[in-house]
Structures are given as C-alpha cells and as structure tokens.
Amino acid sequence: MKTVFLSILLSLLALAGFSFMRVPEEGIKVSVTNLRNNNGHVLISLFREGSGYPDEPEKAIRKGRVIIKDNKAWIIFTGIPAGSYAVAILHDENDDQKMNKNGLGLPKEGYGFSNNVMGAFGPPSYSRASFKFNSTSLAQITIKTRY
C-alpha cells in the first residue's frame, strides 16, 4: 500500500514539475553565448522602436539581470506586443551595473547586440540591430558576446 501511494505521489509531483518547466509559446528568447567566464551577471535590455537604444537602459521596455552558467545565459521576455525591437547585452563581470571602460574609453567587459552587428566607432545603429516580432510565436535571438 505504501509503495502504491508513493508511486502515485511521485508521478503527480513529476507531472506538476514538468508543467512548470514548459517553455512559453510566445515571446522573445535571448540567448547569450561566448561569455569568457561565469563571473557577475549578464544585463539584457530590450528596446522597442529605437527609444533609448542602446545607451539609455532606463528606456528599455524590458530588462533582465541573468545568471551565467557554463559561459552562457538566457532570458525569455513574454507579453511583448508586435513591433520592431533590438537587444543590447552587457557581461557585467564585477556586478556594478555599468559598462567599465579602459583609459581609451574602450569596453573592458563583454557586450553584444541583436543580429550580432557591430558599429565602426561605437554601437551599431538601431536599424542594423533591429528585428520584427509578430507576438504570436517565440522569437529566438542569439547574441555572441564580444570583448
């Protein structure tokens, strides 16, 4: 009797656990690769229609501070309306919530943008980093971190 009860209980717990691990069917999933270590966090900002991109993270429609595991990080933004978006990421290795730069003004921490575009003398334009999102599917954006 105890064995049957325990089996049923474990089955129910397993089913409940699987329902919590389901990936949303709609939203924007941002995966960050090529992180040089697991130090700090990755700061991810989602910008809509170019507002604040990329230097005003307070204007991002969504932001995340994500843990790093095995030199990778990811987040899923849900409840996002259709439109034009761009993503900017920062590997905040020392957790000070800002991009640290060297004496020449060059970044000391990793960064990246959607479409893996780079700017010539600064960040890439919004038009180059932007992508269309239709809000009825799961968009998957992968950003390779640059140092």
Strand partners, 84: 132
CATH of residue 83: 2.60.40.10
Q: How far is CA 84 from CA 32, 49, 75, in A?
A: 20, 5, 18
Quote the mean pLDDT of the chain: 89
Residue 20 lies in a domain: no
Please give the tally of structural domains in the chain: 1
- Using one digit for the tens of pLDDT, what is the confidence trace for 6-43? 444 444 444 444 445 555 789 999 999 999 999 999 99
- Greatest Cα pair distance, the chain, in angstroms, is 73
Residue 17 falls inside a structural domain: no
**What is residue 88's predicted lDDT score, i.e. its pLDDT?**
98
Tell me what pLDDT residue 21 has: 53
Whether 7 maps to a domain, the answer reads: no
Work out the percent of the chain whose per-residue pLDDT is above 70.
84
Decide if 30 is inside a domain.
yes
Residue 16 lies in a domain: no
pTM: 0.83
- Please give the pLDDT value at position 6: 41
Strand order in the sheet with 138-144: 73-77, 27-33, 138-144
Among the ranges given (80-84, 91-95, 118-122), the one the predictor scored with the smallest mean pLDDT: 118-122
Structural domain boundaries, residue 118: 25-144
Residue ranges of the alpha helices (H) in the chain?
Answer: 2-20, 126-129
For residues 146 and 34, give the distance between their C-alpha atoms in angstroms, rounded to a whole number: 8
Q: Tens digits of per-residue pLDDT, 50-77?
A: 999 999 999 999 999 999 999 999 999 9
Asked, for residue 92, whether it belongs to a domain, the answer is yes
In a domain, 39, yes or no: yes
More confident residue, 70 or 1: 70
- 52 in a domain, yes or no? yes
